[in-house]
Each structure stands twice: as C-alpha cells, then as structure tokens.
Chain A
Amino acid sequence: MSETVEKIQSIEAEASSAIGSAGTPAELEDARVRFLGRKAALNEILKSIAQLPPEEKGPVGKAGNQTRGRLEALLSRRQEVLEAAALNDLLENERIDITLPASPTIAGGSLHPITQTRREIEDVFVGMGYKVAEGPEVERVHYNFDALNHPPNHPAREWTDTFYFSDDVLLRTHTSPVQVRVMERQPPPVYVIVPGKVYRRDNDATHTPMFHQIEGLAVDENVTLGDLRGTLLEFARAIFGEDREVRLRPHFFPFTEPSVEIDVSCFKCKGGGHLKDGSRCNLCKGIGWIEILGAGMVDPNVFEHVRESGYDPEKIQGFAFGMGVERIAMLKHGVPDLRLFYDNDLRFLDQFGRGVA
C-alpha cells in the first residue's frame, strides 16, 4: 500500500470523527471546509494524482474518490440530524395549551327531544317491517270520528274538546284517521306507523293543546292479540331496556275491540315498586308498572268503512296502537314538565344535542 493511500485513510478517519462530533451547523460547516473544501488535504491529493507514478495513480484515485463520497454522505446525514434537532428545539418553544376548548367542527345544534324520540320509535318499527305513513292535521270529521266508529254523541266530538273550523272540518284529535286513509289507498296487508301532531282543546299543567302521537296499524289475514302483545313487548324493550315486560289491561276505545292499555314494567325500580333504599318508587308510584299506550284489535266497524278497498272483516283482522311521544320522551329522559318541550329554551334543547352528528 502506498503512502498516499495510507494518508487518505488517515484523513478519512479524522474527518469521520470530526463530522460525527459536529454539534452545530457551524461546526459541521467547519468540518466540511476542513476536509472537503477546495484547499483540503484530500482535494490536494486528488489534484496531484497526475504527478504520481503510473502504478499509484489507479489505487490513489480510487481510494480518494471513495473516501470523498463516503465523507459527503456522512456530512449530509449529519446535516439532517442537526436540522431535525434544531427544529425540535424550535418546536419545543411553540407548545400550546391543549386544555383550551376545541374549535368545533360541529357547532352545537340539536334535534328536539320529541324528534329524537319519534325517530327512535320509528326505527324500532321500521326494523319490524313497518312503513311510516303521514296524513293531514286539518282533517274531516269523517276520518277523525265517523270512520273510527265514534258514536254521534261521543264526548270527544264536542266543541269543548276538539278544535273545529266548521261542522265538518277539525284539527285531528289523534293520528288514527291516517289508519283509514292508508287502508283506503292500499289493500291488505298493511303494516304502518303514523307519527304526527294532534290537537285537543285542553290546556293545563299536564295537557297542551298540541302534542305528538305515534299510531301503529297491522292488518293481515291472521294478526292476533298475541301478536300485538309480542310487537309491543319488542317495542318496550327497544325503548326502555332489554329486561322489560309488558302487561295488558282491558280498556275501551271506540275503534278497537277488544281494547287494552299497555303497561311496561318500571325501569327505575325494575317493576318491584320500591327503590334499593326501600323507598317507594316515584316513577311508577310504587305500582311497578307504567302505562305507556292504548291498543286493541281493529273493530270490525272500522273495516266496514274501507270494505271496498279489500277489507272484509270476515277475511282480515288486525291490531292498532297509539302512544303519546311526549309521554315516552318524558319517561325516557326524566323530563318532569310537559311545557319544557314547547318553551324551546336553548338550555333545555342543548341537553339533547350530545348525540347529534
């Protein structure tokens, strides 16, 4: 090995060490000038290759150029390391207060709890094969009362109980007229639910003149009272929790027979009527059951009104049910006062905005 090659090796060792230990960009630049600059020893050696004896020219040129390449790469890597370190130092000084509030992408709006409850109920029944039907709020006496088997002297017909525009036109008192409208339009089988606003001439602590109902109607060849029970059991469990039970109490409605009221087992005291501390459950008043809706098997007289559309009461049968959306929402969310739904106070509405997306 020639002396010159040995010298190159020694330069490389010295330069590598200097580059590796450069702690700042300035030190690195010094090392670059010192070992790779125009006047650096390595450059001088490469420039003077022509003067070397012929047998040395090859080995020295090769060693010199290789060393130069390696040193340049080393220099460049060191440069990156130093730049990254400098950037990190800079960033370290640009810390932010991560506890300040976010810039929201969702700017805090909300769906009304009545809408949320209505949708939740709709979705339960859509999942069970129901479609959602709607109808007019300004309704004819025929659809609201006559076709629903209300006798002429039924108290709900009175002008003290119901809003009228004329003797024949009123604000619907329930969503049930849509039952008749749907059956007029469509032959059986029918599986629909009907959400909507309804109106009664009542205004006190527990009644508002406008409120919301959801009606259900299932008509087929062989729908039974047992099916009604099973359907509403599924509903109660979906809305109030998987371990709920339902109870059927006989009742009377003009448009169903038999008619029942449906109670759901209290979800606060689990139906026991008493809380863990032994006190009486204030939700179900110690009864263990909470009334949630009215229902029954569609009265044959209702089918008579739509017989022309394919509803022969000897061939088809069905069930219907109706519930107040406010009542379900109050139970589910612990809202104590019906009026809160209609004050539209943002402090109230905001509480129901968390689930909005």
Chain B
Amino acid sequence: MRVPMNWLAEYCDPGMDAAALADRLAMTGTEVERVVRHGAQTTEGFVIGKVLTREQHPDADRLSVCGVDVGEGEPVTIVCGAPNVDAGQTVAVARPGAVMPDGTKLKKAKLRGVESNGMILAEDELEIGGDHNGIMQLETDPALSGRELAAGAPLIEALVPGEDVLELEITPNRPDCLGVYGVAREVHAITGNPLASLPTGPSPEGDETFSIEVQDHTLCPRFTARVYRDVKVGSSPLWLKQRLSAAGQRPINNVVDITNYLMLLTGQPMHAFDMDKIRGGRLVIRNASEAEKMTTLDGVERVCDEQTVLVCDGEGPSAIAGIMGGAISEVSDETTSVLLEIATWNGPNIHRTSQKLALRSEASGRFEKGLSAELPLEVQELAAKLMTELTGARLTSATIDVAGEIAAPRAVKLRATKLRALLGAEISAQRCAEILQRLAFDVAVEGDDVVATPPHFRAADITREADLIEEIARVEGVDSIPATLPAAPAAIGRLSGSQRLKRRIEDLLAANGYHEAITWSFTGAQQLAAISADGAAAPEHELLTIANPLSEDHSVMRPLALPGLLQAAKHNLARGADAVRLFEVGAVYSGTADEPREHTAIALLLSGPAAAGTWRDQGANGDFYALKGVVDAVAAQAGVTPEYQPIDATHHTYLIPGRAAEVLVGDVSLGWLGELHPLVAKRFDLPDTVVGELNLQALSALLPEPVTYEPISTFPPAREDIAVVVEAERTADEVLGVVREAGGKLLSGAGVFDVYEGEQVGEGRKSLAIRLTYSAPDRTLTDDEVAAARAKITERLESIGGLLRG
C-alpha cells in the first residue's frame, strides 16, 4: 500500500517528515516497508512559467527557443523539443539546480549552440502520467484553468513535482487501512492532529431507476449503483494523475481514474459499467453455472465454476463479481452513460474464486479481506462529487441499494482489571476512552470499565475485550510496558531423557570426526531410483507424496536420509575433500496422507579414511567395521550392545548384500548399516563408502534404568587363548555362542582377536583366535577347574566341525 505524503496530509497533517512518520507508524502497529521518492527528488527549482515567445531553433528543426517568464523580471531562454510548445502557455519549468526523478541535477546547457536555462516539462518527466507527446499546458488542465497561476510561483502550488511515499504493509486484520483515508485516521489517532472529513457530492438530479437483483446476500451483502448521464470520457486533471501515479496506479481515463482514486482513498473497490452496453436494462447478481465462460476486460476468456459470482445483464455475464469487469461493458472513449457499482462481497468466496481463476486484482485483494457493508453508501457520495466535477456528468438516480441484513457493530466491554492483568501495566479508563474515541469508537466510561462500539469499518476486527486491549496497547505504545519476569513457581526446566540422549549421540559423533549435515526433507522419485542398485523406482505406496511440490525432485518426503547425505558427500568430494564423514539427525517419513508416519533417524555416511589422517598415520580406509564401531558407540549411549544380522537386501538395494547388517537389540530393529553398492557409489562419484541409519525413538525406548552396582571380584581371572578352524561360512557370533554356552558360569569372557584364512587352514575354512577369560566371584579357580571348562569348550567346538589348532 503506497501512501503519498501530500495526499495523506490533505486529511491529517502528521506534522513531521516521512521518515519520522514511518517510525511512529511502525511503533503503533502499521508496518512501513520503506519510504520511497516519487517524482522529482526536490520540490525546489520547479516553478510555474509563462511562455512569452517561441521561435524556431536556428540549427535544429525540432527544437524551439522559448522566452519564458519565470518571475525573474527578464524572461529566460529555454530550448524545448516538444511539438506543442507555444507562446501564451502556462507551463511547468525545472530550473537549473532542480533534481529530476532519476537524480539528475539540472544545469544550464547549450543545445545546438543556444543556451537553455531550464526545461519545460512533460507529464512523464515528473512521473505524473505516461504522456510524452508534449509538454503539460497548465492553463488547459480542467482543475487549474481559471486559477491564478503566477509566473515564478513554486510549481507545488499547482502540482506536486515530487514527494515522499510511504510503502506500508497492511496486516490482514486492517483492510480499512488499504486506503489513504484509513491511514489518515491512524495518523489522527497517534498524533491527535485534526482529521478532515471527505468531500461529498451533489444530490441526484433525477429519479432514474434500474433493476438490480441479488440472488444470494451471503455472497453479496450489499450492491449499490448510481447512474450518470452526459459523461464525457477524457483525460483526468494533472493532480489526479499525479496522485494515482504516486500511489502506483497508471492513469487511464477520467472515469476509470475516479474509480481507482476512490479505491485508493477509501479502500473500497468499485466498477464503472458503460450503461449502454448493459443488455436488457437490468443486472442480476448470481452464481455462475459450471464451466460458464466470460471474457474479462484484460481480453482473457475465463471459465467459471458454480461458486463464482457473476454480475449479469439481461443476456449474460458482464463482470466477475469483486474481481474484474467484463470486456463487454468496459468504459470506452465513446461512453456517455455510466452505472457505478459499489458493492460488498463475501471475502472467502472472492478469495476462493480469485485462486481458482488465478486472477488477482487490486479489487479482489481488498474484497477478500472482508470490507464493511456500510462503506459503499459513503463512497457513492464521494464518487458523485468527482463524477460530476471531472466528467461533466449528471447524477440521474438516487442510490439504488440492494442489501441483505447488515449486522450493526456490537459494543464491547473493557475491564480495567483485565487490561492491567494482561499487559502488566496501568492505563486509566479515561486514557483508554480517549484512545478509542480517536480511533472512531463510540465510547462510554462506566467506572473502571469502558464500553466501546467500533466504527463499521472496524466491526469485523473488534469483537472481544482482547481486541480493545490490543488497540489501546498499540496506540499507547507497547514499548512503554516495563520488563518483568513470570513468578512461575511451578516451572521446572529440563530436557527429557530422549532429548539428552540425542544430544549425547550428536556430541559423540562430532567428537569422533563426523560433521553434522542438514539436508532437505524432500526427495524425488528420480533421487530414490538413483540409490537403487538396479535403478528401479521406489514403491510409491510406501512414500508420502506432496500434492503441490515446488519441483519433481522435492515431491516426496524422504523415507531415509541417504539421498541427501550422498548428495552432500558428492558435493564435498568434488570440492577436494579427501574424506567425508557426515551424520544427520532428522525426521524420515512413510505412510499415507491419511496415516502419515515419521520418526527421527540418525543417518551416517563414511567415505574415505575412518578417522582424520595425520602426518604419520594416513588413517585406515573406512569400511563396514569402521562404521560398525560408530554404531556400537551410538548404541552404547542408550546402554545397549546391538547384534548384527544379515539384511534383507530387497529393502536395502543401495547396499552390498554380503557387507550389510541389520542392527538389532532383541527383537527390536534399530536400523541398518553396510557398504554402499558400487553402482550407487558410481552415480554419486563416490569412492568406497559405508552408510547406515538408526532410529532414535527405537533407541530411546531402550534407555536403561539407573545402573545397579555389582560387587567387583577380588579373585584374579585366568586367561588363555585358543585357535579354532571352522568352515568359512560360520560367523564369529555362532562360534562364540557355542563357546559361551559350553564355558558355562566360569567363562566370564570370550572374544575374537584374530581371523586367519589361507593355505595353512585349507580352502573354505578359517581360523578364529579366541581369548577366553575364566573367573568366579568367590574363589581363585584351580587349574583343574579351568581345564575341565576348556575341555567342554573344545568338545562342543569339535561337535560343530571345529578343529583346535596347537
């Protein structure tokens, strides 16, 4: 919303410059995006001039040499290129020193040998309008003709050459501020400076009537119309063009300009019909039929649906209600009769239709916020003045007003106690009443309380006590409220066990050389196919798909964090990183729109050395076992030691099946890890890479009870190492399981410390070296006891085909 300072000051003079006003507005609830300059940078240097003489330039066909009276006694010479310049004209002159809109400071200049002491201005040179066909002739302007325009007088007496414009961001609850006058009311409320009322027009000169039917008042609470005859469509006066341009609206013709001007002034959009093009002499406001078509005045054919509201004449649609007029009844240069529609529409309906048709206009943007149904009647009065004065029209009808039941604004009670309790500050009832009165509320003070009825243009926003408190707080200044802290005796701050676990895991990973990444929660079918070794598409029924994605590759909620981490690894390797160790803790998603599921994943990626190399140790390359160590360490944070089992490769097509594992604690799957399939690695230009993902929620569910102390044995353990040769397929876990079972209570530890495969043990076999620890809590074990235990172990190992090596 652009508010030109001169226009604003006509209704309420803020008594301060634009920058100071911007600050005041910002601190009272009207956000100012910026202050910009429209037109000339200065007002100084722009004067009214009278062209006394015009002669042909001796050396240029298209230039005139003019003698111009600028109030300095002697006329000054100005060279002018406009074809229409002539003696006897009153013109706008920029003198040397004046600063033009583009920042150029005007100087005396020689044009083809003739010195020019300034510039006679066209509309576009002051950003007043688009006309560059010739200079502005002030004496022919309808609003200036007949006025005394003294040569040398500041131009601003006739026309604003340039001014500051506030660009406001109006919050959705304040459609009343979508007009200059609404902002003037705000300025009045916050400064107390007087507010001028708006000038209204003459009473009707005739009693012409017109048939208007509104079929559904919930969609059209009010429809008003007035009829104007003898309209002369033409150019608007300069002041009007200047205001429209400064407010960001291009001038078109006087009738259209009046509708735009009044909308920018009051916030109320309206539409002018060429009365002679309304077929059948009547208007019907009705819902469109499904797929009903009409061409809007931008020349585009629109396809409506049953919720679109149309303004129709006797034969068909003439305008889309509240959004855009139709080409069929558009005001043209030939128009002589105008029906001016000012109506109120249902905000949500206008919003929906404008979305549906992908058609937004200044009008729809205002109507969709919900405008007061009282406003049309007021604005018709304002329009009458401008229509009759600027187009020469006669108002031949009273206001034709077709309205449903319009609810009157309701009084709201404000308790001083509530105000104090909510704000934590004291504001007297008298002061509250004063603020609300300035905001045009109807106010009565009842003891400590205030009963206030909002003006119609605020009635939708002010329905509760909290709304009144907000008004008072913002005008009084929320920044004056003192800082206190809640008493809050019941507040105990702490992180939950699972939140602490998450932090511990993050810290552990960072301390072990992993960098935390944050990748998009979105992925796409193509990205998911890229992480499948055979390039197959992911099964769609398991994916949570966005109905309105920004792009195809952001259309699916990631079922795992792997695609993002692979992308990040690729990014870094391409930029010269020699190792990439990444982790991410974030949500992954599955299920359907009806039953969406998400959990927090801890995703891991290791590409290159497992630990940072140093000058004497290049760091072992990361492999399955390196990441398994990380997974063990993460699980240990939740107090568990996981088991690793072969994985169902069909669900993890990005892994090498023989080098991947599911991570389990009992029956609970914590996740998976494995070496990245070479075909997938190749697509991301990655060397050997290991990846994994654990479920944080599954892990936190395993968080242990506090540890209970167990006595430490004071008797020394006995240790011995054995080597057993088994078939290569036997896993270490299997062999250790046999050992532990056979060793019974006396065997307190068993672990593999070496694996050998080669000639000495024969093909298809391997040797596992196992360290055994025996102990008892109550005695030192005798050699015989240990020997007996070992014999049992040996026997069981042999029973599974194991061969003990000497």
Q: A154-B172, A248-B481 are in contact. Are A226 and B425 (CB under 8 A)?
A: yes
Interface pair A225/B511, CB less than 8 Å apart: no
Pairwise interchain contact B496-A349, C-beta atoms closer than 8 A: no
Contact A132 B515 (CB under 8 A): no
A218 vs B557: C-alpha distance when bound (angstroms): 32
Asked if residues B493 and A128 are in contact (CB atoms below 8 Å), the reply is yes
Chain B residue contacts of A222, Cβ below 8 A: 421, 486-487
Beta-carbon contact of B28 and A230 below 8 Å? no
**Can you identify 15 A-B contacts, CB atoms within 8 angstroms?**
A101-B615, A102-B614, A106-B513, A110-B515, A152-B348, A166-B547, A201-B550, A218-B486, A224-B422, A226-B483, A229-B482, A257-B467, A258-B473, A341-B518, A342-B518
Find the B residue at minimum CB distance from A119.
B503
Q: Which of these, B467, B481, B516, B572, contacts A226 with CB under 8 Å?
A: B481
Instruction: List 19 other contacts, CB 8 Å, given A115-B516, A153-B352.
Output: A102-B614, A110-B515, A115-B518, A128-B485, A128-B491, A137-B587, A152-B348, A220-B488, A222-B486, A224-B425, A227-B486, A246-B483, A249-B29, A250-B28, A258-B466, A297-B422, A299-B466, A344-B582, A356-B507
| Closest A residue by C-beta to B612 | A107
Bin the interface of chain B by size.
Answer: 35 or more
Interface flag for B495 (CB, 8 Å): yes
B522 touches A210 (CB 8 A): yes
**Docked complex Cα distance between A316 and B513 (Å):** 49
Which residue of chain B has its CB nearest to the CB of A107?
B513
B616 within 8 A of A: yes
Give the one of B355, B464, B474, B571 with max A CB within 10 A: B474
Q: Given the complex of chains A and B, what is the CA–CA distance between A352 and B729 in angstroms?
A: 46
Which residue on chain A has the smallest CB distance to residue B465? Answer: A300
Complex contact A344–B571 (CB within 8 A): yes
Among the 9-residue stretches B254-262, B591-599, B661-669, B785-793, the one with 4 or more Cβ atoms under 8 Å from chain A is B591-599
Known A-B contacts A108-B513, A201-B548, A252-B29; the reply to A300 vs B594 at CB < 8 A is: no
List, in ascending order, chain B residues with CB within 8 A of A311's CB: none
Q: Are A189 and B490 in contact (CB under 8 A)?
A: yes
Contacts of A226 in B (CB 8 A): 423-425, 481-484
Known A-B contacts A111-B510, A138-B596, A225-B423; the reply to A209 vs B550 at CB < 8 A is yes
A103 near B617: Cβ-Cβ < 8 Å: yes
Instruction: Encode B542-575 as 1/0 by CB contact (under 8 A) with A.
Output: 0011111110001001000000000010011001
The residues of A that contact B545 with a CB separation of less than 8 Å are 165
A245 nearest CB neighbor, chain B only: B483
Contact of A153 among B368, B466, B485, B521 (CB under 8 A): B368
Interface size on A, residues (CB 8 A): 90
Question: Digit string of A144-176 for contact with B (CB within 8 Å is 1, else 0)?
Answer: 000000011111001110011110110100000
B597 (CB) vs chain A CBs: closest residue: A138
* Residues 90-111 (chain A) with a chain B CB within 8 angstroms: 100-104, 106-111
Q: Tell me the residues in window 310-357 of chain A with beta carbons closer than 8 Å to chain B beta carbons.
A: 317, 341-347, 349-350, 353, 356-357
Residues of A within 8 A of B516 (CB): 109-112, 115, 349
A328 to chain B, nearest CB (A): 15
**A-side contacts of B596, CB under 8 Å:** 136, 138, 165, 169
Question: Whole-angstrom distance between the alpha carbons of A345 and B582 in the complex?
Answer: 11
Question: Mask for B761-773, Cβ within 8 A of A = 1, else 0?
Answer: 0000000000000
Residues 588 to 629 of chain B near chain A (Cβ within 8 Å): 589, 593-594, 596, 598, 611-612, 614-617
Closest CB-CB distance, A172 to chain B, in whole Å?
11
Taking the nearest CB of chain A, how far is it from the CB of B475, in angstroms? Answer: 9
Q: How far is the CA of A226 from the CA of B484 in the complex (A)?
A: 5
Compute how far the CA of A130 lies from the CA of B485 in the bound complex, rounded to whole angstroms.
13
Distance between A296 CB and nearest chain B CB, rounded to angstroms? 9
A114:B488 contact, CB within 8 angstroms: no
> Does B394 sit within 8 A of A, measured CB to CB?
no
A356 and B507 CA atoms in complex are apart in Å by 7
- A203 part of interface (Cβ distance < 8 Å): yes
Q: B511 near A109 (CB under 8 angstroms)?
A: yes
Q: Within A176-232, which residues are at the interface with B (CB < 8 Å)?
A: 189, 191, 197, 199, 201, 203, 209-210, 218, 220, 222-227, 229-231
CB <8 Å contact, B521 and A137: yes
State whether B495 touches A132 (Cβ < 8 A): yes
Q: Which of A101, A130, A252 contacts B493 (CB 8 A)?
A: A130
Answer yes or no: B470 CB below 8 A from chain A CBs.
yes
CB neighbours of B496 from chain A (8 A): 131-132
User: Given A165-B547, A252-B174: A131 and B493 within 8 A (CB)?
Assistant: yes
B645 in the interface, Cβ–Cβ < 8 Å?
A: no
Q: Which of A106, A199, A220 contacts B486 (CB 8 A)?
A: A220
Q: B424 to chain A: which residues have CB within 8 Å? A: 224-227
Cβ of A152: which chain B residues have Cβ within 8 Å of it? Answer: 348
8 Å CB interface, B312-359 against A:
347-348, 351-352, 355
The answer to whether the Cβ of B469 comes within 8 Å of any Cβ in the partner chain is: yes
Nearest A residue to B575, CB-CB: A345
A197 → chain B closest CB, angstroms: 7
Contact B486 A231 (CB under 8 A): yes
List A contacts of B756 (CB < 8 A).
none
Contact B521 A349 (CB under 8 A): no
Determine if B520 is an interface residue (Cβ-Cβ < 8 Å): yes
Q: How far is the CB of B485 from chain A (nearest CB, A)?
A: 4
Which residues on the A side are within 8 Å of B467 (C-beta)?
257
A282 CB to closest chain B CB (Å) equals 17
Min Cβ gap A167→B in Å is: 9
Binding site for A on B (CB under 8 A): 26-29, 31, 171-174, 347-348, 351-352, 355, 368, 421-425, 464, 466-467, 469-470, 473-474, 478-479, 481-488, 490-496, 499, 503, 506-507, 509-522, 544-550, 554, 557, 568, 571-572, 575, 577, 580-582, 585-587, 589, 593-594, 596, 598, 611-612, 614-617
| Minimal Cβ-Cβ distance residue in B for A168 | B593
Q: Which residues of B contact A164 (CB under 8 A)?
A: 546-548
**Cα distance A64–B351 in the bound complex, in angstroms:** 120
A103 cross-chain contacts in B, Cβ below 8 A: 614, 616-617
The residue that A350 contacts in the complex, of B466, B515, B568, B615, with Cβ under 8 A, is B515
Question: In this assembly, does A28 line the interface, its C-beta being within 8 Å of a C-beta of chain B?
Answer: no
CA distance A229 to B516 in the complex (A): 34
Q: Judge whether B511 and A210 touch: CB under 8 Å.
A: no
Give B201 Cβ to nearest chain A Cβ, in Å. 34
Q: Report chain A residues within 8 Å CB of B28.
A: 250
Residue A12 CB within 8 A of the other chain: no
Taken residue by residue from 241 to 262, chain A's Cβ proximity to chain B (1 for < 8 Å, 0 otherwise) reads as 0000011111110000111100
Contact of B512 among A109, A155, A160, A233 (CB under 8 A): A109
A131 to B172, CA, bound (A): 33
| Bound: A249/B26 CA distance, A | 7
Contact between B581 and A109 (Cβ–Cβ < 8 Å)?
yes
What residue in chain B is nearest A357 (Cβ atoms)?
B511
Distance of B35 from chain A, by nearest CB (Å): 13
The answer to whether B479 and A249 touch across the interface, beta carbons within 8 angstroms, is yes
A138 to B591, CA, bound (A): 11
Taking a contact as CB atoms closer than 8 A, the residue among B26, B347, B522 that contacts A209 in the complex is B522
Q: Is A126 an interface residue (CB 8 A)?
A: yes
A132 engages B499 (CB within 8 Å): yes
Closest B residue to A105 using CB positions: B511
Q: Which residues of B contact A199 (CB under 8 A)?
A: 521
Q: Which residues of A contact B469 (CB under 8 A)?
A: 257-258
With CB as the reference atom, state the residue of chain B lying closest to A126.
B493
CB of B493 within 8 A of CB of A127, answer: yes
Are B172 and A252 in contact, CB atoms less than 8 angstroms apart?
Answer: yes
A233 to B483, CA, bound (A): 8
**Closest residue on chain A to residue B611 by CB atoms:** A107
Cβ of A97 to closest chain B Cβ, rounded Å? 10
**Cross-chain contact B29 with A250 (CB below 8 angstroms):** yes
Q: With A136-B598, A153-B368 given, is the CB distance from A106 to B481 under 8 Å?
A: no
Q: How far, in angstroms, from A233 to B596 measured CA to CA in the complex?
A: 39
CA distance A199 to B520 in the complex (A): 10
Distance from A84 Cβ to chain B, minimum over Cβ atoms (Å): 30
Q: Quick one: which of B422, B499, B507, B521 contacts A225, CB cutoff 8 A?
A: B422
Known: A225-B422, A356-B510. A250 touches B27 (CB 8 A): yes
